[in-house]
Amino acid sequence: MPETEIKNVPDYFGCNVFNETIMKTRLPKNVYKALVKTKQLGIALDTDIAEVIASAMKEWAIEKGATHYTHWFHPMTGVTAEKHDSFISPTPDGNVIMEFSGKELIKGEPDASSFPSGGLRATFEARGYTAWDPTSPAFVKDGSLYIPTVFCSYTGEILDKKTPLLRSMDVLSEQAVRVLRLFGNTTTTRVTTTVGPEQEYFLIDKKLYDKREDLVLTGRTLFGAKAPKGQELEDHYFGNINTRVSEYMKELDEELWKLGIYSKTKHNEAAPSQHEMAPIFTTSNVASDQNALTMEIMKKVALKHNLVCLLHEKPFAGVTGSGKHDNWSMSTNDGQNLLDPGANPKDNFQFLTFLVAVIKAVHEYSDLLRLSAASAGNDHRLGALEAPPAIISIFLGDELQTIIDALESGKMISENQDNEFVIGVEALPNFPKDTTDRNRTSPFAFTGNKFEFRMLGSADTIACTNYILNTIVAKELKGFADELENSKNFASDLNKLLVKTIKEHKQIIFNGNGYGDEWVEEAERRGLPNRVAAVDAIPHYTDEKNVAIFEEFKVLTRTEITSRTEILLENYSKIINIEALTMVDMCRKQIIPAAFAFSKQLADAMVSKHTVGVNYDAEKKIADKVSALTNGILAEVENLDEKLLGSKDVTGTEATARYYRDSVFSAMQSLRAVVDELETITPSSIWPFPTYTDLLFSVR
Ligand code: ADP
Ligand code: MG
């Protein structure tokens, strides 16, 4: 499109998506209706209907320039996967026609053997299959029709992060509808979970990025002395967006909008070169697909602007890392947000019931939520510089806390002689929605009509957090429904249940400063776990109570949980291993040679000065320091090498991950410290790669 042409967003929004409007115009009425029913009620689709949809999809995709189709899935690698097949099919006369069948739409058979299976591979054949998820819209991108799918092994074990998410949504819906029935709701047939993931990222110059092996191979800087300026002036957050970044954001928005992603908010974040994009919330599985797509588009669009988009949780030490706030709520198919306090007392009881269920769920299964955000990358972020600590707690805010206190003291709910609910206060106040100056230190905050889970790292998928959240809340709703369904006196039994639940679980609520050391001590007194490192958190996946809940709701089997745990731990070790090897490589090939060059420069200067009888104390002083640091670096490199070799003697995934954390990672930290010190005294002309100042302040 020419620069001068003004583009009208509604005209092109979703133009590359096989969305409701397209389906309505292109599908026969009965087929469209069947599909809508599938989407709303989460029920399976007939194969003959799939045939018609496939054909319409193909026609539409070809008009959009597509020649291929791909089943698009989310294996356990954490990134999306795709294998493209063209639509062509040979004809007897040597030509081709474009074909796409219902079968091809519904099912694909990628080789599963090269995707992580966490030990499942031994028990199943290499073959896996992908199955269409009709609840997430197909789209055209780069000449292919993308079909969102789930990914399973042939023997039925699931190999992706999406299947459990879909299952958890069903499970939550079933239990939430049961609870709604208790409140006399007879109309709601489905409750969906909604998610709005805010995505943080860094933008740095491509030319500088290319010069840093650590960024290229690991996505983060493994070395780098702090720049003289960081974020202390607080001048970047919500600051004026410079032209280059603003052009990037503009194109990003356009690309996302074409793909039907409701990109809504964009702003500069706390650290220099850090930014954020927030979409308008949507159904969990669609939000999860769209977030994966957003991350990909963010990176691709950046390259067009000679920028690199870093999605790592902590690309730079000393400034804020990047998170992904997972805003979560539950909505009925008749449009009611269950975490939005209602206008009348009955709705308020219902709101409080769902709220208390979430409180109980988060308290009982905080270990699951914690591990959903556990990764090598996020370890650098949690508890550091404006990121929540590794302790899970809930922030309710003063207004809601007052209500909860009143409820606990038994002053809230009663039933009058007409069997009507009576609430202690007439109606709940309209709680302030989250604003930027609200308590941002809590990992799990009530923000007016939703909860915001702030622990998740920027590089992670939101799927895991959300299938955990949905399942644990479903569990508590089930408990409530089981207890109250046969109640003769609903209001008073509900009151008793809520009071009891609050009493038992209120220690998870913390409205104070989550960044302070006092909270760490207080949390310990309250018995709330503080699993600082990913390796402390991940193994709890297989705790009996956690296996039990996933099995009870058929979201994951014990085998699948074990395999997921293995994959997470293996992945952790692999990442640290790559980072350590990269450090060694950079030291041997770039940093130590640079130190030698600097030493030589100083020695040459000393010799020259000596010849002409000029004092060379300054050179000598620096040369001694450089030599000492070079020795230090060499010693640390050798130590790190040795630690890496030592990993071969450790057996077992958990023990290996622990070894990487305790031995390899700490050796990396010591090495970095010496290198960073050398950097501060080395001239820019000699330092072998761009510094923090170059990287963080160059995008203008
Ligand atoms: P913040 O102050 O944290 O930046 P915003 O008001 O910008 O919060 O909202 C953050 C995200 O929360 C957005 O993606 C928004 O769409 C999402 N959100 C709002 N309501 C809901 C809801 N009911 N369910 C899920 N997400 C929601
Ligand atoms: Mg937020």
Q: Between residues 183 and 386, which one has the greater pLDDT?
A: 183
The ligand 1 atom at the shortest distance from the C-alpha of residue 449 is 23
- Give yes or no for residue 590 having a pLDDT over 60: yes
| Cβ–ligand 1 contact at 327 (below 6 Å) | yes
pLDDT at 164: 95
Q: How many CB atoms within 10 Å of residue 300? A: 14
Radius of gyration for the alpha carbons in the chain, expressed in angstroms and rounded: 28
Q: Which atom of ligand 1 is nearest to the CA of 434?
A: 2
With a 6 Å cutoff on the Cβ, whether 279 touches ligand 1 is yes
Residue with tokens 């799927």: 463
Evaluate the CA torsion angle 499, 504, 508, 512 in order and state its sign: positive
Name the phi and psi angles at 418, rounded to 5: -90, 15
pLDDT at position 311 is: 97
| DSSP state letter for 272 | T
Does the structure show a pLDDT above 60 at 426? no
| pLDDT greater than 80 at residue 413 | no
Residue 460 pLDDT greater than 70, yes or no: yes
- Tracing tokens 């306090």 back to the chain, one arrives at 341
User: Which structure tokens are listed for 350?
Assistant: 């219902």
Between vectors from CA 492 to CA 487 and to CA 493, what angle results, nearest 5°?
A: 40
Q: Residue 615 has what pLDDT?
A: 97
- Coil, strand or helix: which one is 674? helix
Tell me the CA–centroid distance for residue 325 and ligand 1, in Å.
9
Protein residue closest via CA to atom 22 of ligand 1 = 329
> Does ligand 1 come within 6 angstroms of the Cβ of 78?
no
Any idea which ligand is nearest the CA of 266?
1
Binding site membership of 672 for ligand 1 (Cβ less than 6 Å): no
Q: Ligand 1 centroid to 15 CA: how many Å?
A: 25
Q: What percent of the chain has pLDDT over 70?
A: 92
- In the predicted model, what is the mean pLDDT of residues 557-574? 95
- Beta carbon of 263 within 6 Å of any ligand 1 atom: no
pLDDT at 387 over 60: yes
- The lowest-confidence range among 416-420, 487-491, 650-654 is 416-420
How far is it, in rounded angstroms, from Cα 251 to Cα 255?
6
Confidence (pLDDT) at 412: 66
| d(CA 521, ligand 2 centre) in Å | 26
Atom of ligand 1 nearest to the CA of 438: 2
Cα 533 to chain center, whole Å? 17
Query: How much is the pLDDT for 509?
Result: 96
**Is the pLDDT score of 137 beyond 60?**
yes
Annotate 577-614 with b (16+ C-beta within 10 A) or e (fewer). Answer: bebbebbbebbeebbbebbeebbebbbebbeebeeeee
Tell me the mean pLDDT in the region 513-526.
Answer: 90
Determine the Cα–Cα distance for residues 541 and 168; give it in Å rounded to an integer: 16
Which is more confidently placed, 112 or 197? 197
Q: Where are the alpha helices (DSSP H) in 417-557?
A: 463-484, 490-505, 517-525, 534-537, 544-552
Does 680 score more than 90 pLDDT? yes
The predicted pLDDT at position 513 comes to 86
* pLDDT given at position 515: 84
265 lines ligand 1 (CB under 6 A): yes
Whether the CB of 324 sits within 6 Å of ligand 1: no
Of the candidates 372, 284, 275, 389, which has an alpha carbon nearest to the alpha carbon of residue 327?
A: 284
Q: Average model confidence (pLDDT) for the chain?
A: 91
Q: 86-131: per-residue pLDDT in tens?
A: 999 999 999 999 999 998 998 888 776 777 777 665 544 567 788 8
Share of the chain above pLDDT 90, in %: 73
How far is 452 from 395, CA to CA, in rounded Å? 10
CA-based nearest residue to 82, from 163, 38, 139: 139
Q: Is 28 helix (H, G, I), strand (E, B) or coil?
A: coil
What is this structure's pTM? 0.93
**Higher pLDDT residue, 130 or 681?**
681
Mean pLDDT over 495-514 rounds to 94
194 pocket-lining for ligand 1 (C-beta < 6 Å): yes
The minimum-distance atom of ligand 1 relative to the CA of 327 is 26
- Dist CA 651 CA 166 (whole Å): 35
Q: Is the pLDDT of residue 246 over 80?
A: yes
Residue 414: band (very low, low, confident or very high) from pLDDT cuts 50, 70, 90? low
Q: What is the pLDDT of residue 577?
A: 98
Does the Cβ of 281 fall within 6 Å of ligand 1? yes
For residue 372, report the distance from its CA to the centre of ligand 1, in Å: 20
Q: Is 682 in the pocket of ligand 1 (CB under 6 A)?
A: no
Q: Which range among 105-114, 196-205, 385-394, 478-487 shows the weakest confidence by mean pLDDT?
A: 105-114
Q: Which domains does the chain have, with CATH numbers?
A: 9-160 (3.10.20.70), 168-413+433-556 (3.30.590.10), 572-696 (1.20.120.1560)
Tokens encoding 224: 């780098």
- At residue 209 the predicted structure's pLDDT band, cuts being 50, 70 and 90, is very high
The residue ranking higher by pLDDT, 529 or 116, is 529
C-beta 280 within 6 A of ligand 1: yes
- CB of 283 within 6 A of ligand 1: the answer is no
Smallest CA separation from ligand 1 atom 13, residue: 196
pLDDT class for 435, splitting at 50, 70, 90?
very low
- SS3 category, 186: coil
Averaged pLDDT, 143-149: 95
Instruction: Report d(CA 537, CA 390) in Å as an integer.
Output: 9
Q: Which of 172, 193, 198, 280 to mutate to test the pocket of ligand 1 (most atoms within 8 A of CB)?
A: 198
Judged against a pLDDT cut of 90, whether residue 552 lies above it is answered with yes
